[in-house]
Amino acid sequence: MQQSSRVESSVQQLPEEAVHASTIGADESLIDVGQADDFEWAWLLWLDRRLLVRWMVGGLVFATICAFLMPKQFESTTQLMPPDPKSGTGMTAMMMAAMAGPGAGNLGESAFGGLAGELLGIKDPGAVFVEMLRSRTVKDRIIERFDLRKVYGARYWEGARKQLAKRTSITQDRKSGVIGVTVTDRDPERATAIAQAYVEELDRISASVNTSAAHRERIFIEERLKGAKQDLLKASEQFSEYASKNATLDMKEQGAATVEAAAVLQGQLIAAQSELEGLEQIYSPSNVRVRSMRARVDELQRQLNKVGGAGPTSDDPNSPQVFPSIRKLPLLGVRWTDLYRENKIQETVYELLTEQYELAKIEEAKETPVVKVLDLAVVPEKKSGPHRLLIMIGGMILALAAGSGWVLGNASWQRLEPDNPRKQLAQEIRNKWLEYRSRWASRWRSLRGKAT
């Protein structure tokens, strides 16, 4: 009460002092009302300086407790080089190279190529990398990999994504294009592992979502190669079954060998017949030599008929004939040639597609953006937060502001007349609140008394 009366007396004395100061001399300037009000509020705060000091000490103690109760935070950062423009689409690289000119240097070529890319609406590979790092696919894989739903205490995936995004900073330098990924976590090792996981997931997803011309060509050739392989296996099986069934290994060589064998047999037969005729003129038909020669002639004739296909067993499927006769060779040769040609065609197609497939894989590897790490994520040695000194200073400043507001608000309240509508409304609300609070307090005490 003494302090409030002292404040009121000081407030009443201020105008008199101001009037007295205005009558000192005509050459002195008058103190305006705004300056008098400011001086009045400053005087009020000065009079209640002990109260403000207690507020500041309380704010400092509270902020200090909060600062030391907050868990430590660690930051781990990895930096990525911007992707090479030549590793993007081949058309983009050719257009930039063409616009840069054949005599441009590396710096001029990159600058003019970048300007040409902006004018033509060509996407910046670095910006694409940044959006891929911020994608839901990358977040979900990292959340699942480190079980971040349990770490962050998130019930749903969306909550875990928001927490991970809040703790992750992905930036790109506009001049150099270097991409920085900074992860904040209470565990320094986990922060490092998550930052490294971002790089690994970026490398994986950049290869999986590649839509370049070389990628599409590789996919097409790969599908075509599978079909060609099946066709080759089918043609080979048909050719081998036909050749095995008809004993046709090589029609050209086999035909020549068969004709040569028939000619040899024919010559031997003629010689044997001539010798038989000579022996029959000398010896009787029952002579041993005559019968032996006749048997040889018959055997040669049978072999010749077998090779030529004129014998009675040429069309018998159960005959012991191993190779086809000369008469069957033209008939078998037509089908054999068709199957042989089809087999060779499929072999050629498969070889060409295999060669093109390997070239397409090389081109795809050239056009796939490669993630180049400039700085690896390392385990942080010092904490990055919280900044306890700043929290303590901020707590003191907020407490000082709150205390000043309390002092000035109390002074303004005391100035109001008792019949002021705003003061009456505030008092009515306060009385009702006290009434309700006392009523609920009595009910709570009665309930506790019944329970005990």
Average pLDDT over residues 59-63: 92
Quick check: 224 pLDDT over 80?
Answer: yes
Of the pLDDT bands very low, low, confident and very high (cuts 50, 70, 90), residue 334 is low
Q: What is the mean pLDDT of the chain?
A: 75
Given pLDDT bands bounded at 50, 70 and 90, which one contains residue 3? Answer: very low
Residues 193-221: pLDDT tens digits? 999 999 999 988 877 776 666 777 888 88
269, pLDDT greater than 80: no
What digits encode the pLDDT tens for the residues 38-49? 577 888 888 888
Residue closest to 151 by CA, chosen among 163, 169, 141, 140 = 163
Mean pLDDT of the region 178-194: 94
Q: Who has greater pLDDT, 13 or 405?
A: 405
Q: Which residues pair with 79 in a beta bridge?
A: 180, 375
The dihedral built from the CA positions of residue 291, 296, 299 and 301, taken in this order, carries a sign that is negative
Confidence of residue 279 (pLDDT cuts 50, 70, 90): confident
Q: Where are the domains of the chain?
A: 2-70+386-420, 74-210, 224-358, 421-452
Band of pLDDT at residue 427, cut at 50, 70 and 90? confident
Give yes or no for residue 393 having a pLDDT over 90.
yes
| pLDDT given for residue 101 in this prediction | 44
Q: Please state, in angstroms and rounded to a whole number, the distance separating the CA atoms of residues 196 and 201.
A: 9
pLDDT at 168: 95
Return the pLDDT at 357.
87
- Residue 369 reports pLDDT greater than 70: no
pLDDT at position 324 over 90: no
Query: How many other β-carbons are positioned within 10 Å of the β-carbon of residue 40?
Result: 17
Lowest mean pLDDT across 97-106, 316-325, 343-352: 97-106
Beta bridge partners of 184: 75
Q: Is the pLDDT of residue 450 over 70?
A: yes
Segment 220-243 shows an average pLDDT of 84
